[in-house]
Amino acid sequence: MKKNSSLKIPGGYMFRKKITPWCILALPMAFTIWLKYYPIFSAFFISLFRYDPINPPGQFAGLQNYIGMFGMQHYWDAWKNTFIFLLLQISMCFFIPLIQALLLNELIRLQKCLTTLYILPALIPTSVNVIIWKWIWHPDYGVANQIVKFFGGQPQAWLSDPALVKFCIIFPGVLGGGLTVLLYLSAIQGVSPDIMESASLDGCTGFGKILHIILPNISFMIFIQLIMAVITTMQLLDAPYMYASGGPSGASTTQGIFIYNSFNQDLNYGRGSAASVILLLVIAALTMLQMHFEKAEKE
């Protein structure tokens, strides 16, 4: 009897070891499918109808919502604005937290204090930050025009100027800070001390150490942050809407604002869902393209 029970115990243990993770993950997976993937399939389903919220789903339209949307100049202007925002975000703001983290890593004193100061701005709600910057960009009594006047320039309309409004929305990110600095700093400090010491003994110091040792060893974190920056900017909605409500003359209307207006102003759920599906596909394609280049670079 003892021999038989001893033979059954390993099998029972292995079964429990395999089934336990599935039991733990079953509920989170169910909620993920329900709250994440079900809305995606629902959006695609709604995009095929002239959706009627009173008598859903309404009249079947096939691809007419997509065809009609592609024929709207306003839709393509929203795509243009979205990609301009993306270029501005990457060129003006993406590398600032990395530079800040590299400088913080070189500090011996006050490193924790300065790191905390960089994190604190992330606690400020977006709405409060927008109120402060709208005051800075105010054409009559804003700080920005006072600085321009001090250097002999002409006051600008800033948020009311279609040529400047995108710059004004992205510029606050140039100050950097936030959680990204902490993530970069943690990745830098995670580089093996043996590698750093060997590099110093070989005469690799200063900028050479950053270029040849630190950056290659934290490339995974830079890559993740790049993907997150692209995804976040492509979905940009709150900042342009709070700064200028998509104006002036649609100059700050992103795909996020276009979708929001389709649902809430035009009450065109089919077109809003169609725009959501296209945005999802574009973001997925850009993400896969980034992952392909990252994989090719490693190989």
- Per-position pLDDT tens, the chain of length 299: 444 544 454 557 777 778 888 888 889 899 999 998 999 999 999 999 998 888 888 889 989 999 999 999 999 999 999 999 999 999 999 999 899 889 888 887 887 888 888 888 778 888 899 999 999 999 988 999 999 999 988 999 999 999 999 999 999 988 877 888 889 999 998 888 888 888 777 777 778 888 888 898 898 899 999 999 999 999 999 999 999 999 898 999 999 999 999 999 989 999 999 999 999 999 999 989 888 877 766 66
- The full set of domains in the chain, from first to last, is 67-298 (1.10.3720.10)
Rounded Cα–Cα distance for residues 53 and 269 (Å): 9
Residues 6+ apart with CB under 8 A from 222: 98, 184, 215
pTM, 2 dp: 0.86
Distance CA 184, CA 190 (A): 10
Task: Write down the residue that tokens 């970069």 correspond to.
Answer: 184
> Tokens for 270?
């089919």
